Amino acid sequence: MEMLVTKFSNGKYRNEGELFAEPISTENVKLMGEMISLQALRTHKKFDIKVADKLYIGLIKDLHHMNEIDYIVSDGYDVAQTAICFLYQFVGHTVHEIYGKDRKGKEVTIKLACYREIDGELMRLRRKAEKTDYIDFTDYKALPMDPVNCFEHEQTDYTKYDELVSALQLSALELAILNCYMNGMMQSEVCAELGIGRGTIYHRKVSIRQRYRKICSTY
């Protein structure tokens, strides 16, 4: 079976190892970004079928048809564009060179840094998907009984919540952590969103709980 990198490079590369052995250039940066994006989406598919699988299928379709006239690329290609734009700033370097160090002092290659850039884009797309409500207007049974109010949403009263948060006297970091969890984010997502470690999150959560228990009897 012909590898995708071979197909989309018109036979120039037999495998991805040959592609990534070359320095990043204006000629290969697009293909590099696309291949890294496919790899990242394959990994995310195992944990996030709803979003990553759709993006992966869309990207595969884009790569096969994007040169056709009037073809409109899918959201999956946004992931590839994120990778391409990130890699473009390193033209002349190889993806195996050191990009920098992470928070633990471990060296990170340009390729790994690109994966992490994609992770951030996938998190943004995941949150966007979770916040979007779709109404199928082709099915009349799915429409509300009163079409005049179909876009009116009940306003939630957050007064009590605001009073409670104010009473907790949280620091800016603690408030940010609380808001992340209130938005349904997982611990790994909070780490990536705020740029902090799991230990920091754990201790801040303990502090928030302790304060809450002291004042919960008044709410």
- Could you report the per-residue pLDDT of 39-48, keeping only the tens digit for each? 888 888 777 6
CB-based burial label for 12 (10 Å; 0-12, 13-18, 19+): middle
* Residue whose structure tokens are 């320095």: 23
Tokens describing residue 7? 């197909």
- Could you report the per-residue pLDDT of 57-116, keeping only the tens digit for each? 889 899 889 888 888 888 889 899 999 999 999 999 999 999 988 888 888 999 999 998
**Does residue 80 sit in helix, strand or coil?**
helix
**pLDDT class for 137, splitting at 50, 70, 90?**
very low
Question: Where exactly are the structural domains of the chain?
Answer: 4-131, 157-218
Exposure string over 76-86, b if 16+ CB within 10 A, otherwise e: bbbbbebbbeb
| Helical residues (DSSP H) of the chain, grouped into ranges | 4-8, 16-21, 29-45, 54-65, 76-88, 110-131, 159-168, 172-182, 187-194, 198-215
**80 and 117 Cβ atoms separated by less than 8 Å:** no
Cβ-proximal residues to 117 (8 Å cutoff; 6+ apart), any chain: 82, 83, 86
pLDDT at 130: 66
**In the CATH hierarchy, which fold is given to the domain comprising 157-218?**
Arc Repressor Mutant, subunit A (1.10.10)
Q: Would you say the pTM of this structure is higher than 0.85?
A: no
- Could you report the per-residue pLDDT of 162-197, keeping only the tens digit for each? 777 777 787 878 888 887 777 777 777 778 777 888
pLDDT at 151: 47
pLDDT at 196: 82
- Angle, CA 142 vertex, CA 137 and CA 127 arms, to 5°: 80
Secondary structure, 3-state, 33-44: HHHHHHHHHHHH
